[in-house]
Chains A and B, each alone.
Chain A
C-alpha cells in the first residue's frame, strides 16, 4: 500500500505526494478576482511540499454570487495564472475549483433571484429560488465549460467541479432539492453529466478533471445516501467525460456544518463512506480514478492509515495545512511530531460569514495574512530552523517570558526561533495555561495537544522553562537591569458577574469547574445553573459536561438563542441538539439577577417576570478580566484583555518579532 509521500498518477499528471490542500473560502479576493493575497496563501503551502492544491471555488456564472468576495471565474484568469505559476514552480499540481451554489447562495450581492432545480428554499436564508429553465441550464453548463477552459488556458493543471456541500450540481442530484418533472428530474444526474461532458470537451484530455461529490446528504428520506453513493459515483466517473479524481464529501442543505465540522465530530468521519465509494469506483475504472478522502483529517497518522487501509488514494488535509503550512515539509523530513496541531475549532478558518473575515488560524495567525503579518522563518526547508535552535545560548541576557499560557508559549517559541536565548517562568507546575483548561470541554481536547506541542517545541528549541516560578512585577527591573527584554503574559483572572449576591453566596467560575477532576467534582450535589452571557463554546460545553455527570443543568442566556456565537464555527445547530438531548433546561432571553446559596433568580428580558431556580451552584461562563499591563515589559494576551487563543498566539508572535536585534 502506498504512503502519504508516494507519488500518485492523476489522469494526465502525477502529484508528488498524496496530500491535498482542498478548496476553501478565504475572503482574500479583491472584488471577485483571485488576488496577490491568494497567491501568497497557496504559495506558502506549495513551497512546503503540498502535492495537490485546489483553489477557492470560483462561480462559473454571474447568477451565482454566494459571498461578497466569492471569485467569479470570468475575473479569475490573471489570478489563476499567478497562482499556477508559483505553485507549479514549487512542484505542486494546481486545480481551479469551479462551481455554482444554486439555491444555497444569496441574492444580496447580485440583487437577482437564486437559481435552483426546484423551488426549495435553503434552510437558513429561506429564500425561494427560481426554477431554472432549459435556457438557464444551458447557460450554466456553458459557464462551467468556459470557466474550465479559462482556468486551463491560464495555466492551471485542471479543474475541480463542485458537486459537494454548496452546489447546484448536488441540488440536481438530490431528491431533497430536485422535484422536476422534466428530463433533468427524470434523470437527476443529467445536469452533472452535462457539466462534466462540457468541461472535458473544453479542457481536452491533457488537463485534470476532478469531481467533488457529496456522497451522504445526511437526509435519508430523500437525499443521497451512503448506500446509493457508490453506484452514483461509479456511474459519474466512468462516463465519457473521464473524471480523473474524485473527492468524497458529505452534507446537504440540512447539514451545512457537517462537511467541515469542528472538534465535536470525530476526525476522519468520512473514511468508511470513502472506502465504499472507492471500492465501487475502482471496480468500474480498474483503479484509474484515485479517490481523495476529506473530513477533519488533521493528523498524519490517520491520513496514512486511510491510505494503508485502502479507504482512499490521497487525503485532503486542508485545515491541518492552515494550522501548519509546513506539514508536508515536516513529514518529508521525518519529523511528524513537529507538526503544529490543528485544534479543529473552526474559529478563524470558517469564513462563510457576512462579515467577510479573512481566513486565518487560531494556532497560526500568519495564515491568510501572508502578505501583511511579519513573517517568522519557521520551517523554510527541511529542518530549516534546527541550526538556530538554542543557538543563542551564549552570554547575551535571555529574553524573559513570564507566563506559560498560549501567549507566553508562542512568544518563547518565536523568540527562540529568532535565535534568542529564552527563559520562561510559569507559576504552575506545568505550562499550558488555559489551553489545558479548555481541553476539558467536549470537542476541544485538541487544545491539550497544542499545549503538549508547545512543551515539546520549547524543549527542542532549548528554551529554559522554569515551572513553579511566579514572578512579581516588581522584580522585572532586575531582569531589565541585567539586559533582558521581558514579555509579560500572565493571563487574565476570573470575571465578576454583576448580580446581587445573597447570604454570602457566590458564583463559581467556569474555569474552576473545568479544572476540577472530574469536571464539576468540586460542586455540591444537586442541580446547577450555568450563566452564559457570551454564547460561545465555554458555557455550553460546561453545561454538557455537567449534564453528562447526571445532574440537572440549567443554562441561561440573555440571547434569543443559546450559543449565539457558535454559528461561524458551524456548531450552532449541533450544540443546540446536544443540549436538548442531554436534557439541559434552557432559559433564553433571561438575565441573572440574584444568587443565593441554594437558588438563583432569572428575569425575563421582555416581560420582566422573575423565576427562582433551586440550584446548589451558579457557574459563571462570562467574560474574564485582565490582570493589567506592566509598564516595564511588553504585555500580551489575556493580561491585556482576555480573548481567545488566536489573539494570544498572535500577540506572542508579534512580541517575539518585535524584540530588538
Chain B
C-alpha cells in the first residue's frame, strides 16, 4: 500500500506531516511534581522513531484550580519549559512534529490536590468527582482565557510545533459548550453562540500568543453520550464557528465524557473498531480544515479505509502505538505481520491510569519504561543455551527477551499449541482479540529464531537431559478445587474445563466469580449463548469487580441483561449437599441455597510448580515465572518473562575471559 493515502503528506497550517497517523493526546501519569519527565521524552521519542506522522502530548494544565489527578503536568508553571524542550528535542531528532495539548478540566475534577474550589460554568457536580464546583465569574473567565495564553507561550518556548485545545471530553470548554453543564444566563450561557464564546476567546488569545508559525487545533466532542449533552449537530456548528475564526489549522474529534461515559472513549475490544467515525465524517463535511478521527484503530488498513472513504484526514492511533511504537514503520515497510497488535484489553494502559499508576501495556513491557531501557537489546558476546518450559505468555516473553540478546532459546510446550490460558480466554464471545497476545509473541519468537517444540512432556529428567545453561520454568497454573466442593461432585467444574471443551454444561448453570475479572463473565456469556440459564454469584459487591478499570463493566451489564444472565452478590459458598450449594450472605449472615445443573468456578488457580521444586531439590538452578510462581493475570506473566529473559547473562565462558 505504498501509494496509499495514509502515506501522503498533509499540511496542517504551518506544519507538514509526512503521514496521516497521529499519536494523539492521552494521559500517561509520567509527570512528577507537575513537571514533564525523562520518561515523557523517551516515550514520545520511541513513537517518533517508529514513524508516527504527528505526536500530540498529553494535556498541560492551564491553571492552579485544575488538578483532577495527581500526575498532571502544570503547564502554568514556567518550570515546565526545560522539560518541554527535552521532549520536543527528542521527538524532533526523528523529524516528527509534536503538538502540546493544553487544557483546564473545569468541573471534571476535585479539590483533593489543589485545595481550591473547582471551577466550572455552573454549580453542577461532576458524576465521577462528585464535588460541586464554583460557578466562575466573568473575571475568572478572563483569567482562564489568559491562562491558556500563558501555557501556549510556555509550549512555544518549549519548542512545540503547535498546540491543541482539548475542548472535548474533560474540559472546562466542554463544560461551557454542553447544555448539560452550562446553566448560565449571562453572555457565556444559553444559545450555542454564547456557550461557545469562551472557546472562541481562547482561540483568539492562543493564536495571538503563538503567532502564525505554530499550528493550532481544537478537539471537539461529537457526542457526549450523556443526557442533555452535546450531540453531533451542535458539534458541527461549533466546528464551523471554529473554522470561521480563520485562526485554527485543524479539528480533532472525540466521543463521550471522560467522567461519565469513559467506556465509549477508550473502548475495549467489546466495542467495534471505528465506532465513532460518524463524528469526523459529519464535521469534515461541514468544514475545510483537516479533521482527525479516532476510535480503536488497530491496523493500517483500517486507517487507510477511513481516509479513502473521506471520513477524516488524519487518524489517531494511540493504543496501537502504545503496544508497538513501530506501528507506522512496520506498516510502511509492508511487514504488517510484525506489528504487535493492540488487544484493546485496556488492562495496563487505561486500567493503570484510573489507579494513578504510570501507563504501561500488557504485551509491551517497555511501555512506560523506555527511559530505563526496558526491552532494548543488549547483545551478549556468547549466548547461552536457554530452555524455557511452557509456551504461555510468560514463557514466550522470556524466550523473546533472551533471544533478543543473542541467547539460543528453545521453548518446550506440553500441548500441541502455544498460549496457555490466553488461548482459552480468547475463545469466548467478543474476546478473540485477546488471543493476539500469543500471535504477536509467536511472530516475534519466529523473527528471533526461537525454537518451539510442542508435545514435549518436560519432566525433570527430560530437562536435565537437555543440559541447558539456563532453565526457565513457566509451567503455568492448574485449576484448584475449593475446600467446600467435594471431588465427587462432577457437576462442579472449573472455567477452564468448560473452555477446553472437557465438559458441556447445559440447562441451569451457576457461575462463581471469585476472580473479579473476565473469567466468570466470559464463561457466563458463552453458556448463555449456548442456551443455558445462567446466574453469576460473587462474594464481592459486584460481579466482575475489576471490569470497571478496563471499562468493561458497563458493556458487560448491557450484554448480560440482553442474554438473560442474572447476577447476585455478597454470597460466599459454604458447602455442598447433594446437588445443592449453600451460600452465606455475608452482610447479614443468612443462608441461601442454589441447586443448579452445573456450577462453574472462577476461583484462584494453583501454581503448577512441581517441576520447579523437583529441579531445585535436585540442585538445578532454575528461574520460575508467571503463574508457576504465583497465578496472576497475563501482564504479570509477560513482565516476569521479560525480566528473567533479559537478565540472563552471557555464557560463562565470557565471564571467565575465555
A607 on the interface (CB 8 Å rule)? yes
* A579 partner residues in chain B, CB cutoff 8 A: 587
A565 CA / B127 CA spacing, docked (Å):
12
The answer to whether B604 has its CB under 8 Å from any CB of chain A is: yes
Complex contact B604–A577 (CB within 8 A):
no
B224 CB–A CB distance under 8 Å: no
What residues of B have a CB within 8 angstroms of the CB of A605 in the complex? 557
CB of A108 closer than 8 Å to a CB of B? yes
- Flag whether A107 is at the interface (Cβ < 8 A): yes
In whole angstroms, what is the CA distance A438 to B557 when docked?
Answer: 35
- Report A119-159 residues with CB < 8 Å from chain B CB: 119, 121, 126-131
CB proximity of A393 to chain B, nearest CB, Å:
33
- Among A264-272, A319-327, A352-360, the stretch that binds chain B is A352-360
Question: Is the CB–CB distance between B356 and A626 below 8 Å?
Answer: no
Tell me whether B70 is interfacial, beta carbon within 8 Å.
yes
A residues 564-595 touching B (CB-CB < 8 Å): 565, 572-573, 576-577, 579-581, 589
Contact A606 B558 (CB under 8 A): yes
Contact with A along B36-59 (1 / 0, CB 8 A): 000000000000000000000000
Asked whether A68 lies within 8 Å of B356 as measured between CB atoms, the reply is: yes
Q: Find out whether the CB atom of A108 lies under 8 angstroms from the CB atom of B352.
A: yes
Q: Is A640 an interface residue, CB under 8 A from the partner?
A: yes
Which residues of B323-348 have CB atoms within 8 Å of chain A's CB atoms? none
Q: How far is the CA of A560 from the CA of B554 in the complex (A)?
A: 9
Q: Which residues of B contact A126 (CB under 8 A)?
A: 514-516, 545-546, 604
Chain A residues near B352 (CB, 8 Å)?
A: 108
Query: What band does the interface of chain A fall in when counting residues whose beta carbon is under 8 Å from B?
Result: 35 or more
Segment of B95-103, B130-138, B162-170, B280-288 in the binding face: B130-138
Tell me whether A119 and B134 are in contact in the complex, defined as CB-CB below 8 angstroms, given that A108-B357, A576-B541 are known contacts: no
Q: Could you tell me the distance between the alpha carbons of A623 and B134 in the complex, rounded to whole angstroms?
A: 13
When distances are taken between beta carbons in the complex, the residues of chain B under 8 Å from A572 are 541
B605 at interface, CB cutoff 8 A: yes
13 contacts between A and B (CB under 8 A): A109-B357, A113-B629, A113-B632, A126-B546, A128-B604, A354-B356, A577-B588, A580-B587, A626-B134, A626-B135, A641-B132, A643-B117, A647-B117
- The 10 A-B pairs at the shortest CB distance, nearest first, are namely A580-B587, A577-B587, A130-B630, A113-B630, A606-B557, A623-B125, A641-B134, A561-B541, A641-B132, A354-B355
Contact present for B357 and A607 (CB under 8 Å): no
Question: What is the CA–CA distance of A565 and B126 in the complex, to the nearest angstrom?
Answer: 14
Docked-complex contact B630 and A128, CB < 8 angstroms: yes
B553 proximity list for chain A (CB < 8 A): 560
Counting CB contacts under 8 A, is A552 at the interface? no
| A629 at the B interface (CB under 8 A) | yes
Residues of B within 8 A of A623 (CB): 125, 130, 132
Of B127, B542, B586, the residue contacting A560 (CB under 8 A) is B542
CB < 8 Å neighbour of A534 from B117, B130, B561, B606: B130
The residues of B that contact A369 with a CB separation of less than 8 Å are 115
B210 CB to closest chain A CB (Å) equals 33
| B356→A119 contact, CB < 8 A | no
CB interface residues, B 615-658, toward A, < 8 Å: 629-632, 636, 639-640, 643
Selected contact of B355 from candidates A107, A108, A536, A624, CB within 8 Å: A108
Q: How far is the CA of A647 from the CA of B606 in the complex (A)?
A: 48
- Residues on B with C-beta less than 8 A from A565 are 130
Main secondary structure of the interface of A (DSSP, over half): loop
The verdict on B392 contacting chain A, using a C-beta distance below 8 Å, is no
A267 CB to closest chain B CB (Å) equals 24
| A31 (CB) vs chain B CBs: closest residue | B32
Asked if A642 is at the interface (CB within 8 A of a chain B CB), the reply is: yes
Instruction: Render B558-600 as a binary contact track against A, CB cut-off 8 A, 1 for contact.
Output: 1001000000001000000000000001111000000000000
Residue A660 is within 8 A (CB to CB) of chain B in the complex: no
CB neighbours of A119 from chain B (8 A): 604, 606-607, 630-631
Q: Is the CB of A641 within 8 A of B131?
A: yes
A581-B587 in contact given A623-B125, A629-B137, A641-B131 (Cβ < 8 Å)? yes
The chain A residue sitting closest to B125, CB to CB, is A623
* Given contacts A108-B355, A560-B548, A129 and B561 within 8 Å (CB-CB): no
Residues of B within 8 A of A280 (CB): none
Report how far A274 CA is from B395 CA in the complex, Å: 51
Range class of the B interface residue count: 35 or more
CB pair B548–A625 under 8 Å, yes or no, is no
> Which residues of A have CB within 8 Å of B125?
534, 623
Q: Do the beta carbons of A643 and B131 come within 8 Å of each other?
A: yes
A625 to B548 Cα, complex, angstroms: 30
Q: Which of B118, B515, B553, B587 has the most CB of A within 10 A?
A: B587
Interface residues of A in 365-397 (CB under 8 A from B): 365, 369
User: Does B179 interact with chain A (Cβ within 8 Å)?
Assistant: no
Assuming A126-B546, A625-B123, what are 8 further A-B pairs, CB within 8 angstroms?
A127-B632, A535-B130, A560-B541, A560-B548, A565-B130, A623-B130, A628-B135, A641-B117
Q: How far is the CB of A137 from chain B (nearest CB, A)?
A: 15
* B111 beta carbon closer than 8 Å to chain A: yes
B632 adjacent to A107 (CB under 8 Å): yes
**B112 lies within 8 A of chain A by Cβ:** yes
- How far, in angstroms, from A128 to B605 measured CA to CA in the complex? 8
Q: Is A114 an interface residue (CB 8 A)?
A: yes
Instruction: Give, as a whole number of angstroms, the nearest-CB distance from A539 to chain B.
Output: 12
B541 touches A642 (CB 8 A): no
Q: How far is the CB of B560 from chain A (nearest CB, A)?
A: 8
B135: nearest chain-A partner, CB-CB: A626
Contact of A111 among B133, B631, B639 (CB under 8 A): B639
A647 and B111 contact, Cβ closer than 8 Å, known pairs A624-B132, A640-B134, A641-B133: yes
A650 within 8 A of B: yes
Mask for A490-520, Cβ within 8 A of B = 1, else 0? 0010000000000000000000000000000
Near A by CB (< 8 A), chain B positions 219-276 give: none
CA distance A619 to B135 in the complex (A): 26
| Distance of A356 Cα from B71 Cα, bound (Å) | 10
CB pair A113–B134 under 8 Å, yes or no, is no
Q: Digit string of B104-127 for contact with A (CB within 8 Å is 1, else 0)?
A: 000000011001011000010101
Q: Separation in Å of the A359 CB from the closest CB of chain B?
A: 12
- In the bound complex, residues from chain A placing their C-beta under 8 Å from that of B355 are 108, 354
> Chain A contacts of B118 at CB under 8 A?
641
Q: With A and B bound together, what is the CA distance between A129 and B605 in angstroms?
A: 11
Check B111–A643 contact: CB distance below 8 A: yes
Task: Decide: A356 and B70 in contact? CB cutoff 8 A.
Answer: yes
Q: Write out the residue numbers on chain B whose beta carbons fall within 8 Å of the beta carbon of A534.
A: 125, 130
**B-chain residues with CB within 8 Å of residue A355 when the two chains form the complex:** 69-70, 112, 356
**Closest Cβ–Cβ distance, residue A323 to chain B (whole Å):** 18
Closest to A103 in B: B630
Check if A626 sits within 8 Å of B132, measured CB to CB: yes
| Chain A residues with CB under 8 A of B357 | 68, 108-109, 354
Write the nearest CB–CB distance from A67 to chain B, whole angstroms. 10
Contact of A357 with B112 at beta-carbon distance under 8 Å, contacts A111-B639, A606-B557 already known:
yes
Alpha-carbon separation in the docked complex, A113 to B548 (Å): 23
Interface string of B167-201 (1 = CB under 8 A from A): 00000000000000000000000000000000000
Q: How far is the CA of A565 from the CA of B632 in the complex (A)?
A: 28
Cα of A561 to Cα of B630 in the assembled complex, Å: 30
Give Cα distance in the complex from A356 to B355, angstroms.
Answer: 10
The smallest C-beta distance from A556 to any residue of chain B, in angstroms, reads: 15
Of A109, A114, A128, A534, most buried by chain B (CB within 10 Å of CB) is A128
- In the assembled complex, the Cα of A26 lies from the Cα of B571 at a distance in Å of 35
Judge whether B557 and A589 touch: CB under 8 Å.
Answer: yes
0 or 1 for each of A465-501: is its CB under 8 Å from B? (1 = yes): 0000000000000000000000000001000000000
From residue B33, how far is it (CB to closest CB) to chain A in Å?
Answer: 9
| Docked complex Cα distance between A605 and B558 (Å) | 9
Question: In the docked arrangement, what's the CA distance between A632 and B607, Å?
Answer: 69
- Contact indicator B604/A121 (Cβ below 8 Å): yes
Bound Cα distance from A356 to B630, whole angstroms: 27
Taking CB atoms and an 8 Å cut-off, the chain B residues in 532-553 that contact chain A are: 541-542, 545-546, 548, 553
Q: Closest Cβ of chain A: how far from B294's Cβ, in Å?
A: 25
Question: In the complex, what distance in Å separates the CA atom of A68 from the CA atom of B127?
Answer: 27
